[in-house]
Amino acid sequence: MEPTTRRSARRPRSVRLALLSVALSVTATWLIKTVVARLDAGRGAMSRREYLALVLHRESDRRLSPLAVWVMRRTRGSLASLYHVEALVLTTTGRRTGQRRSVVLQSFADGDAFVVVGTNDGGDRPPAWYLNLAADSAVEVEVRGRRFAARAVELPAEEAAAWWRRIVELAPDYERYARATDRAFPVVRLEPVRA
């Protein structure tokens, strides 16, 4: 009997493509149903078209987050500079699972610290990374290929309001997120931990 090779154990290419096609079709159907349901679920002071774009953006962000983290790590963050934004990879500890969770976030420099905002792309709930920070403020930050331990500190209301004005000037999309929900966005400073 011949030994089985890895190549012969794989499904034929046509079967793999068919499975991929089915998976994409199911995902697209789910996405359309989700978007339509959310369009009618209160969209704040936004037009239906603007809200649709925001929901699609939020869903694609959520689903493509692992890919974005992988790309940011492989390019050492240089891909974000093509879009004229500063971004970082934030790694938190899951509040329920205890597993490490990484996400790419737009960031704003504050000396040697970085400021991030929990907009969740205008969603009605805070992002999971923020809830994880509330449970454990010890995080890991990766910026331009450099990793360091940091402590997350939510800014007090007055300082957060000052940062919010600055952030909206630098990144006008954040104003659109604010119009999509009545939720106040947490503004968090990621301060490097000195060894």
Asked whether residue 53 falls in the same domain as residue 137, the answer is no
Asked whether residue 55 falls in the same domain as residue 87, the answer is no
Asked whether residue 11 falls in the same domain as residue 96, the answer is no
Give a yes or no: residue 76 inside a domain: yes
Q: What's the CATH code of the domain at 74? A: 2.30.110.10
Asked whether residue 100 falls in the same domain as residue 188, the answer is yes
How many domains are contained in the chain? 2
CA dist., res. 154 & res. 149, Å (int):
17
Task: Identify the pLDDT of residue 122.
Answer: 80
Give the model confidence (pLDDT) of 11-64 as tens digits.
677 766 766 776 776 676 666 666 666 555 555 566 777 777 767 767 766 777
Asked whether residue 131 falls in the same domain as residue 80, the answer is yes
Q: Which residues constitute the domain of residue 73? A: 64-192
- H-helix segments, 86-156: 128-135
CA dist., res. 139 & res. 93, Å (int):
7
185 phi and psi, to 5 degrees? -90, 130
CA dist., res. 125 & res. 36, Å (int):
18
